[in-house]
């Protein structure tokens, strides 16, 4: 894939390639028939079947490596002479149409493909009843125009956007979090949950680009795309164990399921000509916050127990915390019903956090979240009370940025958080500010303060069941 070497992808010009696919489709169709499950949909693939060296940034590579795939194939050269309409530049399209004819001949109703192989064609060029594409362009790189183009071609769309739905990216901005960052610096549970699949432009109001900059996106003057669904991807080239896979996929995949199964009140309709950015205020943030708090409470207080029983080693988020000037520690977790442990002696002894507790002035405190069964733990974070002039770039990668509060981290605070101007909740209209009343410090890990509010009102044990009694999760490990 990407680096073409003549053996990485099948040669569309060979008759043997066609016979191979005919045999493959026939055999798989028979397997489905024997199982009593008709084969109605076939995924063609088609992702990045190209030579990446033909793009910019590879000037140091030898010219002989910069070949258009199969441009020097004798079979393809012969096909060019036999059929003047054959275009080596569009060989991926040629192969997609060829395979689609085989599928239609076998009575398969639908072909699915990554958009790469089908871009430049339209639905009318294919013979199956339905053709759907996995759409994987990023919003900040002009993805809204690419979406309009694919939809205009008549294709059904499966939203597979890397800047929201790729799970080989970190959960939050921290060097200890594993993952790539070419399309998103982080994809947190909250960010996945807020993704609006049927109104792509809306996401410019609720998120930032890869570098943390605000976006401004205008909905094209076209009919709303036919969104078939959405899909989360856990690419595994950097994953070496089952536990690593589970940690990257869960619980983000549950946020995908919620968005795919349920259209929320804060998801707006596709409206041509409407512009979204951080200041437009079109998305009802109060409804979004309420919806997310219900979801994350159900996740932490109910669904996490199901994952534990299934042996799924899901990611436990690290806690957020603050220490005030009198030495009182306040902490909470993005995931309600998760235990928080703290240590004031560099991790030699740990105590369970149950509410604001005095740890002493000038203390450095280590904190860690622990799953309900005690088997899963977050990474350890450390805080102290010193935090001055924290800069302008808040870390909003965890929980609900509308409800962040402040804590501190001596080493990194200057790069990742914004100081609370006066320490009052009323000044938290800007989601990059987060304050607890009377506390002016800042935190490396901002988190929702709803768990503390729930505890104060006796709601921690039943909040999830009250707000989301019908939320169930089906897990397909295939």
What is the Cα–Cα distance from 264 to 262, expressed in whole angstroms? 6
Q: What is the dihedral of CA 56, 61, 66, 69, to 10 degrees?
A: -100
* CB-based burial, 388-420: b 16+ in 10 Å, e otherwise: eebeeebbbbbbbbbbbbbbbbeeebeebbbbb
Q: Do residues 406 and 443 touch, judged by C-beta distance below 8 A?
A: yes
Residue pair 287/265 in contact by the 8 Å Cβ criterion: yes
Residues contacting 199, CB < 8 A, separation 6+: 219, 267, 268, 269, 270, 271
Element (H, E) at 159: strand 156-159
Catalytic residue among 22, 48, 110, 149: 48
Question: What's the rounded Cα separation, in Å, for the pair 186 and 395?
Answer: 10
Smallest Cα–Cα separation from 227: which of 253, 194, 260, 249?
A: 260
Among 390, 440, 438, residue whose Cα is nearest residue 410: 390
Task: Say how far apart CA 444 and CA 435 lie, in whole Å.
Answer: 13
- Both tokens of 226, joined, read 């036919």
Contact yes or no for 184/162 (Cβ under 8 A): yes
**Nearest Cα to Cα of residue 403 among 293, 272, 244:** 293
Is 48 annotated in the active site?
yes
Q: Are 417 and 443 in contact (CB under 8 A)?
A: yes
Residues involved in catalysis = 48
């Amino acid at each position: 894939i990407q680096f073409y070497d003549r053996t990485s992808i099948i040669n569309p010009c060979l008759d043997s390639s066609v016979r191979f696919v005919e045999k493959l489709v026939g055999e798989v169709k028979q397997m489905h028939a024997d199982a009593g499950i008709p084969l109605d949909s076939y995924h063609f693939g088609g992702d990045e079947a190209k030579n990446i060296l033909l793009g910019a940034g590879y000037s140091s590579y030898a010219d002989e490596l910069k070949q258009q795939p199969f441009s020097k194939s004798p079979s393809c050269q012969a096909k060019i002479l036999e059929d003047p309409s054959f275009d080596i530049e569009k060989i991926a399209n040629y192969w997609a149409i060829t395979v689609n004819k085989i599928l239609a001949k076998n009575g398969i109703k639908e072909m699915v493909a990554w958009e790469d192989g089908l871009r430049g064609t339209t639905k009318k060029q294919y013979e199956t009843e339905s053709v759907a594409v996995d759409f994987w362009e990023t919003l900040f790189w002009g993805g809204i125009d690419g979406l309009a183009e694919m939809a205009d071609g008549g294709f059904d769309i499966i939203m597979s956007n890397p800047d929201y739905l790729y799970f080989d990216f970190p959960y939050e901005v921290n060097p200890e979090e594993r993952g790539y960052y070419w399309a998103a610096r982080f994809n947190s549970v909250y960010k996945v949950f807020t993704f609006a699949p049927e109104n792509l432009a809306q996401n410019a109001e609720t998120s930032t680009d890869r570098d943390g900059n605000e976006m401004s996106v205008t909905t094209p003057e076209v009919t709303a795309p036919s969104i078939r669904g959405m899909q989360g991807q856990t690419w595994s080239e950097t994953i070496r164990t089952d536990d690593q896979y589970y940690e990257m996929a869960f619980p983000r995949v549950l946020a995908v399921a919620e968005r795919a199964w349920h259209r929320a009140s804060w998801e707006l309709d596709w409206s041509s000509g409407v512009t979204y950015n951080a200041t437009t205020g079109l998305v009802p943030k109060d409804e979004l916050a309420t919806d997310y708090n219900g979801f994350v409470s159900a996740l932490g207080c109910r669904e996490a127990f199901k994952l534990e029983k299934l042996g799924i080693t899901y990611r436990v988020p690290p806690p957020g915390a603050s220490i005030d000037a009198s030495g009182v520690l306040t902490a909470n977790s993005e995931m309600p019903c998760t235990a928080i442990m703290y240590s004031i002696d560099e991790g030699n002894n740990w105590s369970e956090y149950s509410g604001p507790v005095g740890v002493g002035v000038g203390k450095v405190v280590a904190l860690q979240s622990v799953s309900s069964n005690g088997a899963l733990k977050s990474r350890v974070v450390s805080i102290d009370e010193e935090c001055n002039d924290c800069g302008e770039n808040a870390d909003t990668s965890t929980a609900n940025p509308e409800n962040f509060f402040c804590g501190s981290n001596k080493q990194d605070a200057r790069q990742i958080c914004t100081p609370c101007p006066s320490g009052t909740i009323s000044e938290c209209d800007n989601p990059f500010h987060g304050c607890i009343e009377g506390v002016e410090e800042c935190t490396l890990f901002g988190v929702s303060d709803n768990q503390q509010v729930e505890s104060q009102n006796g709601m921690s044990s039943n909040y999830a069941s009250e707000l989301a009694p019908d939320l169930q999760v089906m897990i397909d490990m295939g």
